[in-house]
Structure 1
Amino acid sequence: MASRNVGRRRADGKGNRRRALDIPSGQGHGHGHGPGDHVVDTSVVDSDAVVARRVRIVVAAVLIPLITAAVVAMIVLWPGGGVKVESYQTGTARGEVTSVKACPDPKDKCDLATVKLSNGPDKGQTVPVQVPTAGGTTIPVKAGQTVMLGVQDGAPLTDRYQYVDHDRTKPLLILALIFAVAVVALSRWRGFAALMALAVTAVMLTQFILPAILKGSNPLLVAVVGGAVIMTIAVFLTHGINAESSIALAGTITALGLTALLGWFFTGLSQLSGLAAEGASAAKAFAPDLDLTGLLVAGMVIGALGVLDDVTVTQAAAVWEISAANPSASRRELVAAGLRIGRTHVASVVNTLVLAYAGAAMPVLIVFAIQDLPTLSVISTESVAMEIVRGLVGSLGIIAAVPLTTALAAMAVADRSRELVASPVEPKITPST
C-alpha cells in the first residue's frame, strides 16, 4: 500500500491512542512521481454516496448561483459591435523588403526600404517606405524580411504606405505549434483539453472583456464576470465535470472575488491612477471615458486567474488522494494535511507571480537604477507601486485560495463511508502514468 503510517496509532496529549492519518507517499498531486511510484485511485472518492451528497449541496448553494449570476451579467454586459475608435481604423498591409538604403536627407534619420506588397489592392507592386532609425530604438530592417505597413487611403502610391513593425507572424506560429505539441505529448487528451480551454480564454478576452470595457462597462465587474466564466469552462473542460472539479471551481471563484475586492481597496488606498501602466496614455487618448483605475484592478484579476486555477485544483486533488488512502480521516485531519501540502505550493507560486510582475517592470526599474534614487522614493512612484500592489494582491488571492479550497474539499470528503472504518478495505492502487 502506497501510504505512510498505515495501521499505526499514536498517543495524544491525554495518553489516549488514536489512528494516525494515512497520507499517500509522493503526495503532491503529480509533483515528483518517479517511474516506480504509485498513485491512489481517487475514483473511489468521487463515487462515494456521502461525498456526492455533500458536493451537491456546495454546487446548489455556491456554484450554481455564482455561475448563473456570471452568465446573466455577461449577457447584460455583452458589448455587441461598434467598439473600435475611428482614428484606429486604418488599413494594413504586408510586404517583403527587397532593398534598404539611407534616406537622401541625413536630417530625417531613417532608412528608405523598397517593399514588394504581398496583400491588399496594390499587391505585387513595389513601394518606397521610410523606416525610422532615430536613437537606435528600432530593430534594423534588412532585405528579405517581411514588414507590416499602415495604409493611408487616397494618398499617392509613393506616400501611401508607412512602416509599422516587423512581421513576426511566422516565428510566433512556429512557437505556438511547438508549445501545443509539447503540451499534448506530455498530457495527451488532458493537454488537448487544456489547449481548448486556452482558446476559450482568448475568445473571451477578445470578444467580451476588452470590447465590454471599451463600451464603457465597469472594468472590474467585466473582469470578475469574464474570469468566472473562463474558469468555469477551463476547469470543467480540462479536469472533467465531477465532484473534485466542482470543489476546486468553488474555491477558485471565491478567491477570485476576494482578489478583486483587495485590488479595488488597495488601488484606492495607494492612490493609483493607472496612467503609469504601459499603453495607458494611448488608450486614454483614443477612449477618453476609459476608467484607467478600474482597468488596473481588472488586470490584477485577470493576471491571477491562471495561478488560482493551479492552486485550487492541486489542493482539491490533494485532499481527494488523502481521503482515498484513509476514508475515515476527519475534517480537521484533512485540513491539516492539505495545508501542509499547500504551504509548499504557495511558497513557490507566490514567488513566481511576484517575479513575473517584477520582470514586466524591468525597464522602469532600470531607469531608477540609473538615476540612483533612494529606495523609498522609487517604491512610492506610481509605476513601481502599481507593480507592487499587483504582485501582492495577486499573492494574497492565491494564499486565500489554499485554505478556502482545502476547507471545502475536507467538508466534502471528511469521515466518508463510515462502514469502511469497521472493516477497512485497502484503497485501490494504480500505477502512475
Structure 2
Amino acid sequence: MHMPHSSLRSRRRGRGRDTAAAQVAVSRRAWTLMAAFLAPLVLATVLGLVLLWPGAEARGGSPADTLWDPAATAAGSGFVTGTVMALDLGECPDADTAGCSAATFREGDSAGSGGAPREGSLYVPPEAMRAGLAPGDPIKAFSLDVASPGAPAGTESSVAAEAAAAPGAADYVFTDFDRNLPIGVLAVVYALVVALVAGLKGVRALLGLVFAFTVMLGFMLPALLDGGSAVLVGCVASAVIMFVVLYAAHGFSARTTTALLGTFGGIAVTGVLGLWWSEWSRLSGVYTEESYLLYSNGVSTADLVVCGILVAGLGVLNDVTITQAAAVWELRSSNPRAGRLEVFRSAMRIGRDHIASTVYTIAFAFVGGALMTLLLVVSSSRGFLESLTLGELAIQVVNILVTSIGLVLAIPLTTGIAALVAVPARPEAAPGPEAAPGPE
C-alpha cells in the first residue's frame, strides 16, 4: 500500500528532516557506486591506522624520548600558578627596560600539597611590565627552588637556588599571565552560541571537533614523532576525521556522502600538489629552532610541510563541499523537472560566489595570523614580494595557494557528483533505503 506523498513529507518533517531531502531521491545504483568508492577508502584508512599507530612511548610522552621540552625542570623546581601580591615600582626605576625583582608572588597552594600558600620574590621581565602587570593578577611562574618545594627561606638549598637564579636572586620568575579562566569562558560561550543558533546539528559539529583534536593528539602527532611518514600519517588522519566529522555533524545521507566524496577529491588534489610544489620549491621546513630540533632527530620536516597543508585544507574543504551538496539538493527540490546539466550550472553559479569569498577568507586568515611577521617584513630593506618566497613565509604562501586550488577544484567535483546522484522523488514512491536520507 503506497503512502501519499504529502503524508510522507509530513512524517519526514516530523522527524526533523528538511523538505529538500524529502523531495529528492537517490537510486539504488547511485548508492552502489558511492559505496564502491567509499569502501576502499574506509579499508585503506583502517589499514593505515593499524600500520601507522604509534608505539606506547610516543603516545605516553616518555621523558627519555622527548625531543624538546621547554617545561623540563631540575628536581624540586617547576612551573606553578599563583597571584602577584605586591609590586614596588619605586625600587625599579628602569622596570620597562630591565624588568623588576621587587614583586611578591603567592602560589595557589603549597605545590599542590594542600598546605599553607608559599610566598617569595618574583622577577618580572620588562615585556610583562609593559603589558601592565599589577597586584592581584593571576600568573604562571617558574619556581627556582631546586630543593624540596617546602624548603624554608635561608636554608642551604634555598640559598644555592637563589645564587643560581637569573636574573637576580628571586624565588620565582614570571612565565606568563594565567589565561585559563578567560579562554575557558570564551570556549564555553562559543559552544553555547553554536548550540543555540545551530541546534542539535551544532552540538554534533562540536562533538566532531572534539573528535578531530582527539585524533590529532592521540594518533597524528605521536605517529609523526614515532617516525611515521608525515604524508601518509596526514592522509590517514584526515580521512578518519572527515569520515566521522561529516557524518556526525550532518547525518548519514546521500547528500553527506556526496560531500564526503568531494572532500576526498579535494584532499587528494591538495596532497599531490603539496608534494609537487614543496619539492619543486625546495621547502625543507628547517627555518626555526623547533623545526631544526625535529630535523636533527630524524623527522622529515619537508614531509611535515605537506602534512600541514593537508590538515590546513580540511576545514575549508568540508565547508565548501557540504554547501555545494546542499545547494544541489535545494535546486533539485525547487525544480524537479530540471535536467542534471541545468542543476549543475545553477549550483556552480552559487559555487563561484563561494570560491570568491573563501579565497578572501584564506588570505585574510593568513594576514591576521602572521601580522607581526609581516610588519617586520615591511620594515626591512628586502622587498615585500621577495620576502614572501623565503623561509616560513614561503611555506605559508605555498600552503594558501595549494589549499585554494584543492578548494576550487573540489567545488565542481562535488557539484557534479551531487547533480548525478540527486533525482526528483516520485510522488507515488514509497520510501526505500536508497531514498531515505539520514537526520540532517
TM-score range for the pair, normalised by the shorter chain length: 0.7 to 0.9
CA distance in 1 between partners of 2:386 and 2:121 (Å): 48
Does 2:254 align with 1:243? yes
Q: Report which stretch shifted further, 280-289 or 358-367.
A: 280-289
Quick one: structure 1 residues 375 and 326, their matched pair in 2 at CA, closer, same or farther if it must change by over 3 Å?
same
Number of the residue aligned with 1:96: 83
Match of 1:272 among 267, 272, 283: 283
Number of the residue aligned with 2:11: none
Q: Report if aligned partners of 2:79, 2:142 keep a CA contact under 8 Å in 1.
A: yes
Q: Report which stretch shifted further, 326-335 or 230-239.
A: 326-335
Quick one: structure 1 residues 238 and 376, their matched pair in 2 at CA, closer, same or farther if it must change by over 3 Å?
closer
Q: What SS is found at the alignment partner of 2:57?
A: coil
Number of the residue aligned with 1:282: 290
Q: Report if aligned partners of 2:377, 2:384 keep a CA contact under 8 Å in 1.
A: no
CA distance in 1 between partners of 2:174 and 2:298 (Å): 30
CA distance in 1 between partners of 2:409 and 2:240 (Å): 20
Q: Report if aligned partners of 1:263, 1:393 keep a CA contact under 8 Å in 2.
A: yes
Residues 159-174 of structure 1: matches in 2 within 5 Å?
A: 159=161, 161-174=172-185
Does 2:57 align with 1:82? yes
1:136-187, CA deviations, whole angstroms, 9 ceiling, x for partnerless residues? Answer: 7973432111112345674475547543211100000111111111111111
Does 2:115 align with 1:125? no
CA distance in 2 between partners of 1:193 and 1:166 (Å): 33
Does 2:151 align with 1:143? no
Q: Report if aligned partners of 2:21, 2:329 keep a CA contact under 8 Å in 1.
A: no
1:290 to partner: Cα distance: 2.3
Quick one: structure 1 residues 82 and 148, their matched pair in 2 at CA, closer, same or farther if it must change by over 3 Å?
farther
CA distance in 2 between partners of 1:367 and 1:312 (Å): 37
Does 2:308 align with 1:295? no
1:394 to partner: Cα distance: 1.0
Quick one: structure 1 residues 154 and 248, their matched pair in 2 at CA, closer, same or farther if it must change by over 3 Å?
same
Quick one: structure 1 residues 105 and 76, their matched pair in 2 at CA, closer, same or farther if it must change by over 3 Å?
farther
Does 2:205 align with 1:194? yes
Q: Report if aligned partners of 1:219, 1:295 keep a CA contact under 8 Å in 2.
A: yes
Number of the residue aligned with 1:20: none
Q: Report if aligned partners of 1:357, 1:390 keep a CA contact under 8 Å in 2.
A: no
Match of 1:110 among 90, 99, 104: 99
1:111 to partner: Cα distance: 2.0
Q: Report which stretch shifted further, 286-295 or 165-174.
A: 286-295
1:41 to partner: Cα distance: 1.4
1:313 to partner: Cα distance: 0.4
Quick one: structure 1 residues 187 and 153, their matched pair in 2 at CA, closer, same or farther if it must change by over 3 Å?
same
Q: What SS is found at the alignment partner of 1:309?
A: helix
Q: Report which stretch shifted further, 99-108 or 210-219.
A: 99-108
Residues 245-394 of structure 1: matches in 2 within 5 Å?
A: 245-276=256-287, 280-285=288-293, 288-394=297-403
Quick one: structure 1 residues 54 and 115, their matched pair in 2 at CA, closer, same or farther if it must change by over 3 Å?
farther
Q: Report if aligned partners of 2:53, 2:223 keep a CA contact under 8 Å in 1.
A: yes
Match of 2:38 among 46, 50, 63: 63
The aligned amino acid for 1:59 is M
1:330 to partner: Cα distance: 2.4
List gaps (5 residues or longer) in structure 1. 1-38, 422-433
RMSD: 2.8
Q: What SS is found at the alignment partner of 2:56?
A: coil
Match of 2:416 among 407, 410, 425: 407
Residues 43-62 of structure 1: matches in 2 within 5 Å?
A: 43-45=21-23, 48=25, 51-62=26-37
Q: What SS is found at the alignment partner of 1:82?
A: helix
Q: What SS is found at the alignment partner of 1:114?
A: strand
CA distance in 2 between partners of 1:137 and 1:359 (Å): 26
TM-score, normalised on structure 2? Answer: 0.77
Q: Report if aligned partners of 2:278, 2:306 keep a CA contact under 8 Å in 1.
A: yes
CA distance in 2 between partners of 1:243 and 1:258 (Å): 23
Quick one: structure 1 residues 201 and 137, their matched pair in 2 at CA, closer, same or farther if it must change by over 3 Å?
farther
CA distance in 1 between partners of 2:356 and 2:57 (Å): 45
Does 2:31 align with 1:41? no
Q: Report if aligned partners of 2:52, 2:223 keep a CA contact under 8 Å in 1.
A: yes
Q: Report if aligned partners of 1:147, 1:166 keep a CA contact under 8 Å in 2.
A: yes
The aligned amino acid for 1:296 is V
1:284 to partner: Cα distance: 3.3
1:121 to partner: Cα distance: 4.4
Q: Report if aligned partners of 1:284, 1:290 keep a CA contact under 8 Å in 2.
A: no
CA distance in 1 between partners of 2:205 and 2:18 (Å): 23
CA distance in 2 between partners of 1:61 and 1:306 (Å): 25
1:191 to partner: Cα distance: 1.1
CA distance in 2 between partners of 1:175 and 1:181 (Å): 10
1:52 to partner: Cα distance: 3.8
CA distance in 2 between partners of 1:234 and 1:162 (Å): 43
The aligned amino acid for 2:316 is V
1:370-404, CA deviations, whole angstroms, 9 ceiling, x for partnerless residues? Answer: 12433442233223322211111111111011011
1:60 to partner: Cα distance: 1.9
1:363 to partner: Cα distance: 1.8
1:298-327, CA deviations, whole angstroms, 9 ceiling, x for partnerless residues? Answer: 222111111111100011111111112233
The aligned amino acid for 1:201 is A
CA distance in 1 between partners of 2:402 and 2:45 (Å): 22
Q: Report if aligned partners of 1:78, 1:212 keep a CA contact under 8 Å in 2.
A: yes
